[in-house]
Structure 1
């Protein structure tokens, strides 16, 4: 069976980080803030929270030998990703999974999605008040490209209520997800809310505008996970199918942080 505590420990060790180094990189003061997540006696749930996994992804992705991939981290909290990762491992070795990255796994029959039932990481909160006087434009296309991209030409599909987190962000806007290239993080038709003023870090989810064709009248928009952006290139990652997308720096128009997502309000 898959153990989140064992997987986290081996990912950390593969990245060459001490527990204290990982904790500080995640924004905590000391190792004691995360040590229970590597101890099955202290943490016995099947899944980590999305928030915790996002923090881990920002630190771990691309580190180690071989470089840590998104599925290896997101399997800690997303059942669909875990199923895909276990299936991949099983294909690599049909006879045994006993030595994969030093993690001990018992043999198992062909898995099905019903074998992996997520533990709820949600909580009931009080009423959330929205600014009824402000609405955000929603951009997108009914049919997207092979990687979920669409022409960002300023056409507004509809508008939605502005969530409270973005009420003071004048440049905020929303985009409708088209396709399943980021499943299970984002589903087809979901709305992502963007904060163009916020700094983007590795592991964040973003809307990137890219002038893919220099002769095009408008850039293409990609909803992906951010890996890096330097003077040479922008590198993004998608989940379904899992692959990295690289773009020349001079073709990048903007990379905007996704603050939250959900259904239209």
Structure 2
């Protein structure tokens, strides 16, 4: 690395440490235009303005740096005596929060054959998985067959459920009764004694089930088209 590259790297360090990367601030401090600073620091060699001897001493004078500071090959000496380079400054920054994957892979546990009034008559084995925006560790998916829940849930589409999500009146739930019947319906209300449901299909009405007849009731997080299934 020649003297011009050393000066360029040290000027970049000054820009980063003292001016927080704000080129207009550095430019004003040394009586230059921001575009001139950009030319000095550009990574494109053919467009780069070299920092000569006179300009290097000018920068040091304007920024109250000791003469020759810009020529230091191991990093510029800051006024407080600390040696800093761009890499040193970058390492001193606190690590920001890590972003988790926004979607969760949920396995398709089976294919539910939809019978009259939205009941599942049988559960066949199925494979594949879908990505869903869920943080529920127990989330799972079911692929449905039949048209008794149309148009809300079409044959071949996937329903994903969240067992640990709180139930929300007015939204869909998956209900399994102690006799093995399963269904997806709109939740009207739920209390300690009973659960009231509304059929997805307009051809069927309201259904109220005693709590002791329900084996499980899970929140339905969403409905996914078959094109989103992965194998």
The TM-score normalised by the length of structure 2 is 0.48
CA radius of gyration, larger in: 2
More strand by share: 2
Which TM-score applies when normalising by structure 1?
0.42
